[in-house]
Structure 1
Amino acid sequence: MSLRNMEKAQFELIFDIILSTSQTDWEKLQMLEECRYRYKDNQNGLKIIDEFEITYTSDKALQWYTRDSFLFRLVNEACRTENVDQIYTFRCFLSDLSKQLYQLHSSYISELRNSGIDIFTVYRGQRISAVEFQEIQQNIGQLYSTNTFLSTTYERDVALKFAGTGAERPKFESVLFQYVIDLNINTKPFANISHESYMKHENEILLSIGTVFCIDSVYPSTENNVWHVTLTLVSTTKEDIALKFELDQRPMLLLLGSHLASVMKDFDKAERYYRLFLEEHATADPSLLTIRYYIEAYNGLGQISTFKGEYATALEHYEAAFRLTEEHLNNENISMAQAYENIAYVYEAKRDYKNAIQIYQKAIELRADNYVSQGQLFNKIGDLFANLTDWASARKMYQKAVESHFIHPLCGIYIDDARSYFKIFSITAGSGTFGNGEHSVRIHRKLPY
């Protein structure tokens, strides 16, 4: 389990979107190729992979997941590390696993309700690192979510055996997790999988990845050398629903590219997904929505190339996005301005400040109705003139930045204003003219930031 934040919620929703896509035999072959590569030096593992290829059907997903084999290890590793690239590779099996658990969930809920049960408790014993345990201790009242399919049991004594006796302290803590589940709460599926499990004698309750709990209490046991952590199931939040709606509107390959680049900082894999999107969606007559997705993909590739310092390649990608924007979205000033700004940023990164200034100025013209954005661009251009030691032009841009912010109905972005005043003062002072600079500093000091 791990502390829940917006990045965690985004990962869970991307996970759901990956699993909701249609599957083909090609996906299964991709997965098997990866498994054989990972087990290339393990003959017994390779034999089990061959067995899986021959005998597997979608209704046996839980049976294979609960078997002590390559699949359990590789799938859990991908989920635990939140490696969306590996999850994408295993999407065929993970989709089957999730669907089977969902099917069992309905009958399991009915069975419990028919027995008069609305709230029940399951347990999980585990040795966890001291660092992970400290995070739990310090976040009572906060939300945690499962980052794998979580195995639990009704039997407290069985769970205690897995918790250990605290013998590995101080590096590891022995913990008994107690999960309180209310059937009236809308949540991810869970079910008793005893009849489907490879280990049929175990009374196992499996919880879906992304199931969210609130940490209620953490306390040491008086009867054994184990910590007790009590958690209560919580429902999907409004923020999750809004984020899911936002993500559901975008193609999966773009979501993967964006997540890998912005969250995981794995730029090579992100680039692969952006390129894969462009290849798979190439068409002679794309819709306007598809063109917007093309632009997003090219911009993503441009950002990656800029980060890598591959400026010529970055310009190629950004210029491709610009051409599409100019041809299909030229009446959208914001889109055109952003296209100019992306190209200008590459020239700025190359320290080609003159070209950067010229292109940023085109963006300013397109943002005439947005004084805040204009002010930010004036500030940026002022910095570029300062880099060229053109102090007069720099000072002029900083003054325009301040003027733009005061025109704004909300009377400015104070921090940007303050920076602009300070820059005006610095340049005025540097040129030997202190009057306006001192006035700028006096105003700067009065700004409430």
Structure 2
Amino acid sequence: MGFFVQDLHRQIEQIYFQTQQTEKMIIYRRQGMSNVEFEKLKKSEGGLLSFNNFLSTSIDREVSFVFGNSARDDPDLTGILFRMEIDPSFSSVPFAALDDISFYSNFDQEILFSMHTIFRIGSMREIENKLWQIDLTLTNNNDQQLKNVTEFIRNEINDGNRWMLMAGMMINMGKFDKALEIYNTLLETILNGTEK
């Protein structure tokens, strides 16, 4: 799995450097989010938001409405339309326009970002019942808050057992299931006498 992730990341970088996108653009992503997570996000306006997976977006706002309709029928979900402003002259985060290589190239005008892409959270407003638009701006390497967070994580990881620290970070982020998964893996590793 790790090889696949690395290979996909390299391909995104390769496409990014080959195309040399220079114009600003607005892209969209629609998804359902748990009401609990959405309430946390609403309190983070002006902060940072990281997507912990590969991020598929579309240049066409209407295409984004085709995806992510699950929130309409689920009382535990809120629909989110992320409106993302990308300025390649301001940010060096790689992304790939998949027009020429995607099976759905004529349909969705897809832009793909690698894992852990970080955005600055802008304004939020309800645009329909149970559907909120959240404006995001792609960060750059000069973002001081991003530098501080990156440095903090780097120091935390270098100061002790990385798995324990990662589990602690998951708890701090409210991702208790992920923390439990890490702790269970550590326990199995210790019981088997193969701690890494």
TM-score by length of 2: 0.74
Instruction: Provide the C-alpha distance between the structure 1 equivalents of 2:59 and 2:14, rounded to a whole number of angstroms.
Output: 21
Instruction: Provide the C-alpha distance between the structure 2 equivalents of 1:139 and 1:169, rounded to a whole number of angstroms.
Output: 24
Count residues in correspondence. 175
Instruction: Provide the C-alpha distance between the structure 2 equivalents of 1:245 and 1:166, rounded to a whole number of angstroms.
Output: 36
Structure 2 equivalent of residue 258 of structure 1: 161
Q: Does the aligned pair in 2 maintain the 1:260–1:270 contact within 8 Å?
A: no
The amino acid across from 2:137 in the alignment is T
Greater share of residues in strand:
2
| Percent identity for Structure 1 against Structure 2 | 27
Q: Does 1:213 align with 2:119?
A: yes
Instruction: Provide the C-alpha distance between the structure 1 equivalents of 2:118 and 2:28, rounded to a whole number of angstroms.
Output: 15
Q: Does the aligned pair in 2 maintain the 1:127–1:162 contact within 8 Å?
A: no
Instruction: Provide the C-alpha distance between the structure 1 equivalents of 2:130 and 2:65, rounded to a whole number of angstroms.
Output: 10
C-alpha displacement of 1:199:
3.5
Instruction: Provide the C-alpha distance between the structure 2 equivalents of 1:275 and 1:187, rounded to a whole number of angstroms.
Output: 40
Partner SS, residue 230 of structure 1: strand
Q: 1:100 to 1:129 in 2, by over 3 A?
A: same
Q: Does 1:168 align with 2:79?
A: no
C-alpha displacement of 1:165:
8.3
Greater share of residues in helix:
1
Aligned runs of 1:171-182 on 2, under 5 Å? 171-182=76-87
Q: Does the aligned pair in 1 maintain the 2:32–2:80 contact within 8 Å?
A: yes
Q: 1:258 to 1:165 in 2, by over 3 A?
A: closer
- The alignment's C-alpha RMSD in Å is 3.1
Aligned runs of 1:26-425 on 2, under 5 Å? 90-108=1-19, 110=20, 112-113=21-22, 117=23, 119-164=24-69, 167-201=72-106, 202-221=108-127, 226-236=131-141, 237-239=146-148, 242=151, 258-264=161-167, 265-266=183-184, 267-268=186-187, 271=190, 275=194
Instruction: Provide the C-alpha distance between the structure 2 equivalents of 1:246 and 1:263, rounded to a whole number of angstroms.
Output: 12
Q: Does the aligned pair in 2 maintain the 1:258–1:270 contact within 8 Å?
A: no
C-alpha displacement of 1:176:
1.0
TM-score by length of 1: 0.35
Q: Give CA-to-partner distance per residue, 1:113-164, whole Å, 9 cap, x none.
A: 2xxx2x2110011122111211111211111101100100000011122243
The amino acid across from 1:149 in the alignment is F
Structure 2 equivalent of residue 400 of structure 1: none
Q: Give CA-to-partner distance per residue, 1:158-204, whole Å, 9 cap, x none.
A: 11222438532531112211111121234431111232334443311
Q: 1:173 to 1:242 in 2, by over 3 A?
A: closer
Structure 2 equivalent of residue 37 of structure 1: none
Partner SS, residue 184 of structure 1: coil
Instruction: Provide the C-alpha distance between the structure 1 equivalents of 2:55 and 2:133, rounded to a whole number of angstroms.
Output: 17
Q: Where does the alignment leave 5 or more consecutive residues of structure 1 unmatched?
A: 1-89, 278-449
Q: Give CA-to-partner distance per residue, 1:350-380, whole Å, 9 cap, x none.
A: xxxxxxxxxxxxxxxxxxxxxxxxxxxxxxx
Q: 1:271 to 1:240 in 2, by over 3 A?
A: farther
C-alpha displacement of 1:240:
5.3
The amino acid across from 2:165 in the alignment is S
Q: Where does the alignment leave 5 or more consecutive residues of structure 2 unmatched?
A: 168-182
The amino acid across from 1:151 in the alignment is S
